[in-house]
Amino acid sequence: MKEHEELTPVAPLSIEDLLDGRISRSQLRSDGTYLYWVESRPGAGSGPCLARAGLDSSPGAVLPAGVSPASRVYGYGGGSYCIVPRDSGMSQASLVAFVRDIDQEVSVFDPIDQSTVLLSRAPSGNQGRSYGDLVSTSDGRWILAVCEAARSGGTPSSRSIVALDRSSPGHVVELVNTSGFLSSVRISDDGTSIVWTTWRSTTMSWISSELWGATVSTKRGEFELRDHWHIDGGSGVSVGQPTWHSDGSLIYISDAAGWWQPWQWRKTDGRKDRLCDVAAEFHSPEWTLGQRTMDELGPGELICKVRQDTRDYLGILDMSSGTLSRLEQPCVTIAAVCRHRDGVAWLGSTPTEPSAPWWMTLGERSNKPMSASKTDQRQIPVSLTKDVDGRCPIRVSVAERFCFDTPSQRVVSGLFYPPTSPRRVSAEREKSPLIVFCHGGPTGAVEAGLDLSVQFFTSRGYAVAAIDYGGSSGYGRVYRDHLEYGWGIIDVDDCTRAARYLQMHGYVEPGRAAIRGTSAGGFTALNALASSDVFRGAVSWYGVADLMELSATTHEFEAHYNDWLIGPLPESREEYLKRSPIERVSQMHGSVLLIQGSMDSVVPPEQARRMMDRLRECEVDCSYLEFENEGHGFRDSHSIEAALEAELAFYDRILDHS
């Protein structure tokens, strides 16, 4: 890590800047003419917007005003739209199938005549239903989807793969049904085979999942499956992202060799081959549906997102030799990739620019801005959603990677963001205070791309450190498995050691540190406050406080995740109590700010309210903010603004940063 330069005061990041243009993390699609992606539009009553742009056109909304695509399958959604080819022989703009945010039904929209056709039927009785992970058959007749049906009276939900008939709206065929979970349904180009991934309700897909296939029959106009076959996965192997290759083989991700790497399966002989042995991750935990981090470029070539050492890369994989060639491009965080025309498109962010769609040609390996005309010869790619010369309005704090060894010789990595303003640093205090960021998941990972929530604090004189504690993704199966039975111990210890490391090496002032996190990161932050005196305070955004209550009330997707993170109940009840922040209030060495949404189904607000009551009973300095109509992740700009301003005031007070 480098010595920090002398800084002069600059304007801090405004709330308006922070909320400007948020892009969906995983969805990017191409129909050969346009690129499609989902944008968030923070604001009262607003929702996600489906956008598109071509090489010669500016970005614009696809769906009518006020219509938003968003899936709620498994509580986290994903795959809320797909591109639908028109009837054979037509060269007009593609149709778009999407899940309507308002009622979770599937519709098809025609951008030419602005018509919308409802494909699914409203649920009957007390049964609620959600769709996600949409994909169209090559002839455009059928839309395949994952469907989750919630039942009343305490009966568990069921999950299925369904086919919606565009030629007969309202005709929905159930293909596969399970009490477990399903994702990644994909049909071959010739329409004869279908594959999907599945995992049991007692586990998570990144722990153990299976890849299955079946033969498709469309006799008499119906869509039917027969001859089911198991392809790979299970028994502690995680699989994902099946993609049909042009030669009829199947490309998919498996961590059988210790890393999420691409494999190939041939239906003709059942042979399975690993395509690349690079020690890197080509996949991420599937909290949401529709992940796409690889695509076919041509016969024998794949474009891949690759994760190594806290940053993402784009690589071209030669399937015959296993050689991975890195593409030169500016993004360090990449969410999705796909082939587009004669090049590659991706969703990514640079250290100084927010997440946006990018494109570059590959034939001559030269870069071209997608928003430019065909005659434009500039060689640096520019995001579709920003002006060519547009930049973040503040001096950006660029992340510096750091790492340290634990007593067990495990290497922990993180990103350190120095403050970009000497605000409130006096002659007596030459160093800035530190805020440690704990990612959620807890399988998430730090991101080196521009994170405006980080910049909100660095532009106000705070240093920030984001930690890839044990259990984080991006470092292979062994590192991810460190959190098995270790949640609340390994993560807390790593974040605490990171703060001590930065203090000992003189990058921040000792004695002035706070810790914050969202969801699982909030659990880590609260436990860190009870485990040592390194931090003066903790901020928890909809974080877990009571593990016993979490196990009793959380949604079905994560109902048994704690069995792996802590241990099965009732045998491990004492561990649940020992690691629950609500049971450790008397040990907390500092102040607490709790931020919660009133409609959170993952961590219900009653849990946060009980944590607040317990803190106040024990005379621990505690502030509590609950926001109406917010769930597990805030969407309304007014809520985000109020929460961040309260968090900043909290740090200013407890860290004496005034």
Distance linking the first and last C-alpha atoms of the chain: 28
pLDDT in tens, 588-647: 989 999 999 999 988 899 999 999 999 999 999 999 999 998 988 888 888 999 999 999
Task: Say if residue 461's pLDDT is above 60.
Answer: yes
Regarding predicted confidence, which is higher, 1 or 314? 314
pTM as predicted: 0.90
Q: What is the pLDDT of residue 44?
A: 43
Residue 211 φ then ψ, to 5°: -110, 125
Regarding predicted confidence, which is higher, 594 or 220? 594
**Residue 641 one-letter amino acid:** E
pLDDT in tens, 87-134: 754 556 799 999 999 999 999 999 999 999 999 986 655 468 899 999
Mean pLDDT of 241-249: 95
Q: What is the pLDDT of residue 649?
A: 96
Regarding predicted confidence, which is higher, 25 or 326? 326
Q: What single string gives the DSSP state of each residue in 240-288?
A: EEEEE-TTS-EEEEE-TTSS-EEEEE-TTT--EEE----SSBS----SS
- The sign one gets for the Cα dihedral 51, 48, 183, 518 is positive
Q: Would you say 164 and 172 are in contact if contact means Cβ atoms under 8 Å apart?
A: yes
**Band of pLDDT at residue 48, cut at 50, 70 and 90:** confident
Residue 150 φ then ψ, to 5°: -90, 130
Q: Which helix (H) or strand (E) holds 40?
A: strand 34-40
> Tokens in use for 587?
């040990």
- Measured CA to CA, the distance from residue 545 to residue 609 in angstroms comes to 10
3-state secondary structure of 177: strand
Q: What is the pLDDT of residue 8?
A: 41
**Band of pLDDT at residue 658, cut at 50, 70 and 90:** low
Q: What is the pLDDT of residue 15?
A: 58
Regarding predicted confidence, which is higher, 48 or 568? 568
From 76-85, 124-133, 496-505, 629-638, the region with the lowest mean pLDDT? 124-133
From 310-314, 429-433, 537-541, the region with the lowest mean pLDDT? 429-433
- Measured CA to CA, the distance from residue 291 to residue 332 in angstroms comes to 18
Q: Would you say 212 and 172 are in contact if contact means Cβ atoms under 8 Å apart?
A: no
Q: Which residue bears the tokens 């060269």?
A: 91
Q: Would you say 540 and 609 are in contact if contact means Cβ atoms under 8 Å apart?
A: no
Regarding predicted confidence, which is higher, 624 or 76? 624
pLDDT in tens, 191-214: 999 999 999 999 999 999 999 999
**Band of pLDDT at residue 376, cut at 50, 70 and 90:** very low
Q: Which residue bears the tokens 């048994």?
A: 560
- Kindly state the percentage of the chain with pLDDT values over 70: 86
**Band of pLDDT at residue 429, cut at 50, 70 and 90:** low
Mean pLDDT over the full length of the chain: 88
**Band of pLDDT at residue 22, cut at 50, 70 and 90:** low
Regarding predicted confidence, which is higher, 565 or 356? 565
Q: What is the pLDDT of residue 128?
A: 80
Q: How do 434-438 and 513-518 pair as beta strands? A: parallel
The Cβ of residue 325 has, within 10 Å, a number of other Cβ atoms equal to: 11
Q: What is the pLDDT of residue 554?
A: 83
pLDDT in tens, 152-198: 655 667 899 999 999 999 999 999 999 899 999 999 999 999 999 99
Q: What single string gives the DSSP state of each residue in 589-648?
A: -SEEEEEEETT-SSS-HHHHHHHHHHHHHTT--EEEEEETT-BSB---HHHHHHHHHHHH
Q: Would you say 385 and 23 are in contact if contact means Cβ atoms under 8 Å apart?
A: yes
> What beta strand segments (E) does 393-549 contain?
400-405, 411-417, 434-438, 463-468, 513-518, 537-541
Regarding predicted confidence, which is higher, 391 or 585? 585
Highest mean pLDDT (candidates 14-18, 88-92, 343-347, 531-535):
531-535
- Measured CA to CA, the distance from residue 197 to residue 280 in angstroms comes to 22
pLDDT in tens, 286-298: 999 999 999 999 8
- Measured CA to CA, the distance from residue 368 to residue 381 in angstroms comes to 5
**Band of pLDDT at residue 285, cut at 50, 70 and 90:** very high
Regarding predicted confidence, which is higher, 552 or 25? 552
pLDDT in tens, 532-577: 999 999 999 999 999 999 999 888 899 899 999 999 999 999 999 9
- Measured CA to CA, the distance from residue 80 to residue 96 in angstroms comes to 10
Residue 548 φ then ψ, to 5°: -65, -45
pLDDT in tens, 391-415: 556 789 999 999 999 999 999 999 9
Q: What is the pLDDT of residue 424?
A: 53
**Band of pLDDT at residue 299, cut at 50, 70 and 90:** confident
C-alpha closest to that of 234 among 203, 199, 264, 210:
210
Task: Say if residue 6's pLDDT is above 90.
Answer: no
Q: What is the pLDDT of residue 371?
A: 34
- Topology of domain 400-654, per CATH? Rossmann fold (3.40.50)
Q: What is the pLDDT of residue 93?
A: 74
